[in-house]
A and B are shown apart, each in its own frame.
Chain A
């Protein structure tokens, strides 16, 4: 990415106010407002001009948020279903997409009109995603795709899918992959919900039967899909790990404190109380450090593409969340024996109308934090090998044609 254009904070704030003069979140719906925000280059200020940005440093995105928050009671946040499109779809289209794709797809990702999903994992390829089996074969100007994806979050809502498929089984696994943008409405795409630990179905299995993808929807070159996927995965870790609350005491810890305050205080002895209070303080500290660490990472982030350091936050956040919500349930004692939301299959969050019920839901949902977007074990491998420079393990799949590697 080229050097960032210099623009003062004041100037960026002024531009944000100019947007608010034209459309205001209090009087404009999310989609039309966010379309205008995109046109003004205030969607992702680190993107180039004309593509939702102003070519500034990524650090400056928070200024836009801050200025909108100052002048409006309503803030149209990134829509929940668009997190994958915004966090991973947009950067990959920007880096590898044609001008036409950028022009047509980026504004609709930001506005929330088009939901995107990530179609990497398969039944036989999770952590070892480069070992995937979905087959794409060339037929004239098109590719014909067959196979199964799994754990595909929001596939049921998606307009487009980021699809990684095997175009050559006769070379080692990383070399035979290509990356496509898949039209989820194309014939032969079948999405089936998967029932989760929480009772929800956020993710799906997706079956592809003779699905045709035009050749110009390939991102990167044939056989270079792995490099494109890496861009996606790096951004994913930041999208997931870069979270935490930007505000002190905000986000998850605020919810946990509410549980602490709303709990049945008669249920524990002073000794139990002291133990739980210390654990609560540890949770506060870890959340606060998650926030400060993300802030430090943002301050250090010079270019638009995050490095393996993103894995520090991803790993830490996953483990902290799990501990935090285990504590949430421990704090409430016997109240934790019930779960009012129930486990009826639902696509969406159902009703979680108290802090205590929400905590029980989080207790269940947070188990995924150390699996989704790369498991904690894989994060430790990445930190050990790519950040600390420790040697890798002996590999049985190196320099072996993909078709000859054993698979479960």
Chain B
């Protein structure tokens, strides 16, 4: 489908609101504070995001207490969050879990959980990956045993976003029908949660071990196709976050190149630096095209969503990483220090690149979808 890519005044206002909020509540000091904390987010900020701006329920329908907005609004918000390196359960709860419930859960479960997510009161995450490190559906090996009210889970999930702090975990597990999604409460018996030592401290991950842990199916039947679509929706949103981060790296690099003097001239007047910035600009513009295309596809429920989302994840991952790496280079020794924020973006970039599958994984999906 050919999208128009038009942003309305309301979109611009939303962007301005979120940017202003994040400048105040998620500046560099706030980010560093959350990096050092175990939970990795500020409950006050999270509550404000939910109550004042309605972000926690952004893509949740109004009937379930959300703002009832779509993927174009989400893309705007994710870009801003990526720019500010916001530390919050937004990706896990408001994006991954909200999508998973809307796509895979029955009406009763949706009714029960979505309102809590939208209010910011229940933080829900989705446990998908396992120690095998695969991001496709075949990587889901943990199996659910029993039926009806007597289902239990045994096995390990890992790299779970906010897995150690979430109130509810939606676990993707093998069933005789295929793949199902199971709800486990944080205090369930036989559940052990361990925070992981992340490469990127701004986004918290945990390992979850299940030993005959009681669980409730969120719906009946095989959810493979629905869950594959959920993963596409999540990477589409993540690609928009990557665009925001990449743009910020470009802005930082250009700003520094204008002001840093060496040999009596701003370093940005040297082509070695100027041309690097120009190439970053092209890569950022292309990343925007990729992420917008994926998010517009999500907004319009386009049949090519899976392809567009994987294309965006593959491309935005690489362009964010290169922008973050070049930003360090352009800052010289300063860029290598702990004090300077360049490394925060560098680590976020690499972690986002690997999360939900690296570029080669997503190119494989694109190749399959388009028939290469």
Which residues of A are at the interface with B, using a C-beta cutoff of 8 A?
248-249, 257, 260, 277-278, 280-282, 284-286, 288-289, 292-293, 295-296, 299, 312, 315-316, 377, 379-381, 383-385, 387-394
CB distance from B324 to the nearest CB of A (A): 17
- Are B6 and A285 in contact, CB atoms less than 8 angstroms apart? no
**B36 CB–A CB distance under 8 Å:** no
List A contacts of B221 (CB < 8 A).
none
Could you write out 28 A-B pairs with CB less than 8 Å apart? Answer: A278-B363, A280-B367, A281-B367, A281-B372, A285-B315, A288-B293, A289-B290, A289-B315, A293-B285, A295-B2, A295-B5, A296-B5, A296-B292, A315-B278, A316-B285, A377-B275, A379-B278, A381-B271, A381-B278, A383-B281, A384-B268, A384-B274, A387-B281, A388-B277, A389-B254, A390-B258, A390-B268, A393-B271
B287-339 interface with A by 8 A CB criterion: 288-290, 292-293, 311, 314-315
Q: A379, A383, A388, A389 — which one has the most chain B CB atoms within 10 A of its CB? A: A388
Nearest B-chain residue to A297, judged by Cβ: B285
The winner among B258, B270, B286 for most chain A CB atoms within 10 A is: B286
The answer to whether A388 touches B278, judged by C-beta atoms less than 8 angstroms apart, is yes
Please report the C-alpha to C-alpha distance between residue A385 and residue B254 in the assembled complex, in whole angstroms.
11
Which residues of chain A have C-beta atoms less than 8 A from B372's C-beta? 257, 260, 277, 280-281, 284
**B33 beta carbon closer than 8 Å to chain A:** no
Please tell me if the beta carbons of A389 and B315 are within 8 angstroms of each other in the complex: no
Closest to B315 in A: A285
The residue in chain B whose Cβ has the minimal distance to the Cβ of A291 is B289
Question: CB < 8 Å: which of B277, B288, B311 contacts A384?
Answer: B277
- Other than the known A280-B367, A285-B311, A377-B271, what 12 A-B pairs have Cβ atoms closer than 8 Å? A257-B372, A277-B367, A281-B363, A281-B366, A288-B293, A293-B286, A295-B2, A299-B6, A380-B278, A388-B277, A392-B269, A393-B271
Tell me the bound Cα distance from A185 to B278 in angstroms.
42
Residues of A close to B266: CB separation below 8 A? 390-391
Q: Which residues of A are found within 8 Å of B278, using beta-carbon distances?
A: 315, 379-381, 383-384, 388
Chain B 81-124 near chain A by CB (<8 Å), digits 1 or 0: 00000000000000000000000000000000000000000000
In the complex, B360 has a CB within 8 A of chain A: yes
What is the distance, in angstroms, from B162's C-beta to the closest C-beta of chain A?
A: 31
Q: CA separation between A281 and B359, bound complex, in Å? A: 11
Chain A to chain B: the 7 pairs with minimum beta-carbon distance, closest first: A384-B274, A390-B268, A380-B278, A383-B278, A292-B289, A380-B275, A281-B363
Provide the residues of chain B in CB contact with A393, threshold 8 Å: 269-271
Number of chain B interface residues as a range: 35 or more
* B62 beta carbon closer than 8 Å to chain A: no
Considering the chains assembled together, what is the distance between the CA atoms of A286 and B311 in angstroms? 10
Q: Most chain-A Cβ atoms within 10 A of its Cβ — which of B3, B274, B277?
A: B274
* CB <8 Å contact, B6 and A381: no
For the complex, give the distance between the alpha carbons of A392 and B360 in Å. Answer: 39
Q: CB-nearest residue of chain A relative to B269?
A: A391
For A299, give its contact among B5, B315, B367 (CB under 8 Å): B5
**Cα(A280)–Cα(B364), bound, Å:** 11
- Find out whether the CB atom of B289 lies under 8 angstroms from the CB atom of A289: yes
* B residues less than 8 Å from A315 (CB atoms): 278, 282
Q: Which residue of B lies closest to A392 (CB)?
A: B269
- Rounded to whole Å, the gap between the CB of A328 and the closest CB of chain B is 14
Among A284, A292, A299, A381, the residue within 8 A (CB) of B274 is A381
**CA distance in complex: A296, B295 (Å):** 14
Determine whether the beta carbon of A296 is less than 8 Å from that of B288.
Answer: yes
Known: A295-B2, A296-B288. A390 touches B367 (CB 8 A): no
Q: Which residues from A are CB-within-8-Å of B367?
A: 277-278, 280-281, 284
A246 nearest CB across to chain B (Å) = 8
Q: Given the known A-B contacts A260-B372, A391-B266, are A285 and B314 also in contact in the complex, defined by CB atoms under 8 Å?
A: yes
Residue in A closest to B274 when the chains form the complex, CB atoms: A384
Partner among A257, A280, A384 whose Cβ is within 8 Å of the Cβ of B275? A384
Q: Report B249-290 CB contacts with A as 1/0, cut-off 8 Å.
A: 000001001100000011011110111011101100110111
The contact of B363 among A285, A381, A385, by CB within 8 Å, is A285
Contacts of A316 in B (CB 8 A): 282, 285-286
Which B residues lie within 8 Å of A277 (CB)? 367, 372
The docked-state distance in angstroms from the alpha carbon of A387 to that of B366 is: 32
Docked complex Cα distance between A288 and B367 (Å): 13
Contact check, B286 vs A390: say whether CB atoms are below 8 A apart: no
B302 to chain A, nearest CB (A): 11
B285 touches A380 (CB 8 A): no
B9: CB under 8 A from chain A?
no
How far, in Å, is A250 (CB) from chain B's closest CB? 12
Q: Which residue of A lies closest to B257 (CB)?
A: A390
B4 interfacial contact with A, CB 8 Å: yes
State A312–B2 Cα separation when bound (angstroms).
21
- Evaluate whether A380 and B279 lie within 8 angstroms (CB atoms) in the complex, with A292-B290, A390-B268 already known: yes
Would you call A299 and B4 a contact (CB within 8 A)?
yes
Q: How far is the CB of B264 from chain A (nearest CB, A)?
A: 9
B-chain residues with CB within 8 Å of residue A295 when the two chains form the complex: 2-3, 5
CB pair A390 B2 closer than 8 Å: no
Question: Given A249-B370, A299-B6, A389-B254, are A312 and B275 neighbors across the interface (CB < 8 Å)?
Answer: no
Distance between Cα atoms of A392 and B270 in the complex (Å): 8
* Complex: A253 Cα to B366 Cα, angstroms: 14
Q: In the complex, A289 Cα to B283 Cα: how many Å?
A: 10
Contacts of A249 on B, CB cut-off 8 Å?
Answer: 370
Question: Contact string, B139-168, partner A, CB cutoff 8 A, digits 1/0?
Answer: 000000000000000000000000000000
Interchain nearest-CB distance for B92 vs A (Å): 28
Give, as a whole number of angstroms, the nearest-CB distance from A290 to chain B.
8
Q: Which residues of A contact B289 (CB under 8 A)?
A: 289, 292-293, 296
Instruction: State whether A390 touches B277 (Cβ < 8 A).
Output: yes
CB distance from B6 to the nearest CB of A (A): 6
Q: Which residues of A contact B288 (CB under 8 A)?
A: 296
- A293: which B residues are within 8 A, CB to CB? 285-286, 289
Identify the closest chain A residue to B370 (Cβ).
A284
Nearest-Cβ distance from residue A327 to partner chain B, whole angstroms: 12
Q: Which residues of B contact A388 (CB under 8 A)?
A: 254, 277-278, 281
In the complex formed, the residue of B with least CB distance to A383 is: B278
- Measured CB to CB, the nearest residue on chain B to A300 is B5
Closest B residue, CB atoms, query A286? B286
Closest approach, in angstroms, between the C-beta of A139 and any C-beta of chain B? 43
CA distance A285 to B369 in the complex (A): 12
Q: How far is the CB of A241 from chain B (nearest CB, A)?
A: 11
Known: A296-B288, A312-B285, A380-B275. A389 touches B370 (CB 8 A): no
Identify which of A296, A315, A379, A394 gathers the most chain B CB atoms within 10 Å of its CB.
A296
Chain A residues in 8 Å Cβ range of B254? 388-390
